[in-house]
Amino acid sequence: SLDVSSLTKQTGYTALDYGFVNTAATKSKITYIDGEQGILRYRGYPIEQLASSSTYLEVSWLLIYGELPTADQLAEFDEKIRRHTLLHEDLKRFFSALPHTAHPMSVISSALSALSTFYENGANPNDPEQVELTTIRLLAKLPIIAAYAHKKSLGQAFLYPDNSLNFVDNFLKLNFGTMAEPYEIDPVLSKALDRLLILHADHEQNASTSTVRLVGSTGANLYASISAGINALSGPLHGGANEAVLQMLGQIRDSGESVQRFVERVKNKEDGVKLMGFGHRVYKNYDPRAKIVKESADEVLQALGISDPLLDLAKELEQIALEDDYFKERKLYPNVDFYTGVIYKAMGFPTRMFTVLFAIGRLPGWVAHWREMNTDPQTKIGRPQQLYIGSGARDLPQR
Ligand code: ACO
């Protein structure tokens, strides 16, 4: 075991590491990634096994508490989450202050910041009971807030959560149900969404999780830290890539440009255009999540009887890129975001909701990291160094 205590003292040496490519900011027991081998494990369990035979709630428990729950623990967790789905009526009014054109990622991050004002006494990071309650509140309420952000963009009335339904079915009903008609649960959609949430549930020290940790390291509460994480996730180089992929595919289709020509433009870095949904800081062989999502995309579209030309376009793009030296040399492969958008679209979600779905999936990972950090005696406030390259000392002109 490595004694890191000496490394937490200032040594007088500073390493310049843009993008933290070589710097570990913490130890963690939550998620293991081997980028060369394409391995991802939550608490030791392979992502493939979790995706095929676990559920999002079970995985949430696993990430947060470190072990698989017993049947009783899982039932109690599920029950507690169902009991905390309601939003205060005042928080519901908060949505009306925002324009219906607001991006749902901005809506949910603002709403989570606002949520802390309802539980000000309950957000103390040093009170384990309150941390427990806040964990449940966040897991219960983020999906409701997300569904309301969606409804708001459509100009439709908010539905009350139906707590007789399981987590995912309730969420789907709040998004696609209306006051006028009963909502029919489609088990294919529920299963597919649950699996996608599992695949997104954690990914060690990615940009948004590092943000949650950095904000949390100041002693900020869980609501504030998660809200910051959502903002970090929104960027197109991170979670926002799933939205950007669909936009890219739509643009290729609408422009009539051939896929080959588009790939040439990417390689020539024309106007900084990138192949969205490709490449990863850690995976240099393949992203194991992308493999599962691709299979799932085929299954879901087939089960729903949908044939989407954008899926065919995505496959053609992948094929061309994988055979091209530019992508091979740089070890660029599809990441988790490349095929998710096609599934979300088939489910009926508008493109702007895609990253919101990612945020719901990532929530248990963020919470697990925030809690791990707050119980680690070696945690210090995060404070990167810089190398100053500005002007030397100088005097203001005489005035
Ligand atoms: N398309 C074209 N070229 C790419 C791409 C891409 N998607 N990704 C990387 N490259 C090129 C870079 O231009 C660079 O080329 P160069 O050596 O000629 O300058 C080389 O590959 C290395 O790329 P870096 O930017 O150094 O890789 P980094 O690890 O910093 O970035 C990232 C990783 C941000 C994911 C990048 O691959 C990217 O922008 N991908 C597209 C956006 C995306 O899909 N993001 C989602 C990531 S997964 C997630 O957050 C859930």
pLDDT at 263 over 70: yes
Instruction: Please pick, among 150, 202, 337, 369, the residue that the annotation labels catalytic.
Output: 337
What is the spatial distance between Cα 101 and Cα 88, in angstroms, rounded to a whole number? 23
Segment 106-162, tens digit of pLDDT: 999 999 999 999 997 666 788 999 999 999 999 999 999 999 999 999 999 999 999
Which residues are 45's β-sheet partners? 42
3-state helix, strand, coil in the chain (%, to 5): 60, 5, 40
Distance from chain centroid for Cα 108: 13
* Burial track 70-87 (b if 16+ CB lie within 10 A, e otherwise): eeeebeebbebbbebbeb
Contact 365, 320 (CB under 8 A): no
pLDDT category of residue 14 using cuts at 50, 70 and 90:
confident
Q: Which own/partner pairs from 390-393 qualify as long-range (CB within 8 Å, at least 24 positions apart)? A: none
6's tokens? 């000496």
What is the spatial distance between Cα 90 and Cα 87, in angstroms, rounded to a whole number? 8
321 in ligand 1 pocket by Cβ < 6 Å?
no
182 in ligand 1 pocket by Cβ < 6 Å?
no
Q: Give residue 51 CA to ligand 1 midpoint distance, Å.
A: 26
What is the spatial distance between Cα 15 and Cα 387, in angstroms, rounded to a whole number? 9
Residue 143: closest CA among 363, 371, 336:
363
Q: Which own/partner pairs from 124-131 qualify as long-range (CB within 8 Å, at least 24 positions apart)? A: 124/221, 125/216, 125/219, 125/220, 125/221, 125/222, 125/374, 126/374, 131/222, 131/371, 131/374
Segment 190-224, tens digit of pLDDT: 999 999 999 999 999 999 999 999 999 999 999 99
Q: How far is CA 43 from CA 13, 32, 204, 269, 381, in A?
A: 34, 7, 11, 39, 25
278's tokens? 């490709």
Q: What are phi and psi of 250, to 5 degrees?
A: -60, -40
Q: Give residue 248 CA to ligand 1 midpoint distance, Å.
A: 15
Residues in the chain: 399
| Atom nearest to 200 CA in ligand 1 | 51
| Atom nearest to 338 CA in ligand 1 | 44
Q: What percent of the chain has pLDDT over 90?
A: 86
Nearest CA, atom 42, ligand 1: 237
Segment 236-256, tens digit of pLDDT: 999 999 999 999 999 999 999
Contact 98, 88 (CB under 8 A): no
Q: Give residue 276 CA to ligand 1 midpoint distance, Å.
A: 8
Instruction: Please pick, among 280, 298, 308, 369, the residue that the annotation labels catalytic.
Output: 280
Q: Give residue 279 CA to ligand 1 midpoint distance, Å.
A: 5
Q: What is the rounded end-to-end Cα distance, in angstroms, of the chain? A: 61
Q: Where are the alpha helices (DSSP H) in 287-381?
A: 288-304, 309-322, 325-329, 337-347, 354-374
Rounded to two decimals, what is the model's pTM? 0.94
241 in ligand 1 pocket by Cβ < 6 Å?
yes
Average pLDDT of the chain to the nearest whole number: 93
pLDDT category of residue 183 using cuts at 50, 70 and 90:
confident
Q: Give residue 366 CA to ligand 1 midpoint distance, Å.
A: 23
337 in ligand 1 pocket by Cβ < 6 Å?
yes
Which residues are 308's β-sheet partners? none
Pocket test for ligand 1, best of 21, 262, 332, 336 (most atoms within 8 A of CB): 332
